[in-house]
Amino acid sequence: MRVRLTELGAKGLLLLAALEVAFLATSYSNLFFLLIVFCAVLGLLGLASALRSLRALSVLALEVPPGPAHAARPVRLTLAVRRRTFDLAFVLETDGEEIPLPAVATVVGLTTLALDLPPQPRGVRTTRAVRAATRFPFGLFEVRRRWPLAAECITHPAPAPATAGAAQRGCGDGSSSAGSGTAVVAGLRPFRAGDAVRDVHWKATARRGTPIAKEREPDAGREPAIVVDRRGTAAELEPMLATATAAVLALGTATRTTWFRSQGLALRLAPGTAAPRELLRWLATATPLPADAPPPDRAPLPQEATRA
C-alpha cells in the first residue's frame, strides 16, 4: 500500500507547524499543546482508518466486456470486504494509461460492482492491474492499494444506425444469397482490358481518379456472407466496419448460417448466437490494406466444407 498526503493534509501540516511556533513563542503553552495533540491524534486516526479500510478489501476478479467505440460500458469488479469500507475510487492500469472509474460510497461483504468505463477509441487494450484508493474519513491522506489483474478491453466500431444484412466495402451490394447461382461482388480492383463497362464502379472511379472495376466471383450454393474488403484508405474502411459490426451484432436473431469474410479471414457464424469474441476483436483491430492487396478470402462451398 502507498500513502500520499492530500492537499487538505498539506494544509493541516501547515496548521500544525503554526501551532508549534505559537506553542514555543507565547505564554499560552497549555492551550497550544492541547491543540497540537488534537491535530496529531486526528491525523493519525485518519491514516489508521484509511489503512484499515484497504487492508480489509480484496479485488477478486475483473471483467471488461466488449463494447462500442465512444460509448460508456459497464466494467464488473468482484470484491470481498471483511468490514464496511467507505469512499472508494478505482482505477484501471492499462498499457501506458490509467482509466479512472466512478467512485463508490460504501462496500461490504462479497459483492460485484458494475462501474461505467469511460468511452474508448476503437482498438484493444490490456488491463494490467486494478488500483483502489480511499481518503476516508477526514481526507488528510490518500491510501492506495494495487491488485495485478489482467483483462482484455475490446472496443469494436460503433454499429451503423442502419442495420444491413451484410457489409460490402466500396459498393451498396448486400449479402450473397445461398443457391442463387449468380456472381457476387467480392471487392474492387483496377480496371483491366476486357472488363465489361457494367462492372465499372463509378463512385470509386471518381474518388480515386482512375478506372475501378467490381471484382465478382461465383456464388453458386453458398450461404449468405458479410464481406469487408479492406483495400483503400482508413476513411473508407471505418464506415464499412461500422456497417459490418451492425450486421454481426444483428446475427443473434438470424435464422441462417452466415459467413464473415475479409482478407485473411473466413469465419462461419451460427444462427441465433452472439457475435464471437474473436470476431469483435478483429473488428476492433482491422486496418486498411493497399489497393493491390488480394481480395477477401472466399467462403468454401458446402461440399468443400463437408470434405474439410
Q: Which pLDDT does position 222 carry in this prediction?
A: 59
Q: Which of 65-79, 121-135, 184-198, 209-223 has the lowest mean pLDDT?
A: 209-223
What would the mean pLDDT of 256-266 be, rounded to a whole number?
Answer: 88
Q: Return the higher-pLDDT residue of 177 and 66.
A: 66
Helical (H) or strand (E) element with 184: strand 183-190
**pLDDT of residue 167 exceeding 50:** no
Q: Which pLDDT does position 67 carry in this prediction?
A: 94
**pLDDT of residue 181 exceeding 70:** no
**pLDDT of residue 140 exceeding 60:** yes
pLDDT digits (tens, 9 = 90+) for 195-213: 888 888 888 888 888 888 8
Model confidence, pTM: 0.72
**178-208 per-residue burial string, b: 16 or more CB within 10 A, e: under 16:** beeeeebbbbbbebeeeeeeebebeebeeee
CA nearest neighbour of 54 among 15, 10, 14, 85: 85
Distance, CA of 40 to CA of 147 (rounded, Å):
31
3-state DSSP assignment of residue 87: strand
Q: Which pLDDT does position 186 carry in this prediction?
A: 62
Measure Cα distances from 254 to 55, 118, 152, 168, 271 in Å. 50, 31, 28, 18, 5
201 near 213, Cβ under 8 Å?
yes
Strand partners, 125: 153
- The CB-side HSE value for 49 (13 A sphere, CA atoms) comes to 18
**pLDDT of residue 171 exceeding 50:** no
Q: Which pLDDT does position 184 carry in this prediction?
A: 56
Measure Cα distances from 112 to 23, 119, 182 in Å. 51, 21, 53
Distant-in-sequence contacts of 207-212, Cβ < 8 A, 24+ apart = 208/291, 212/188
Average pLDDT of the chain, as a whole number:
84
- The CB-side HSE value for 246 (13 A sphere, CA atoms) comes to 16
Q: Is 256 exposed, middle or buried (0-12, 13-18, 19+ CB in 10 A)?
A: middle
H-helix segments, the chain:
7-25, 29-55, 202-208, 234-249, 277-285, 302-307
* Cell numbers at 9, concatenated: 493534509
Q: How confident is the model at residue 259 (pLDDT cuts 50, 70, 90)?
A: confident
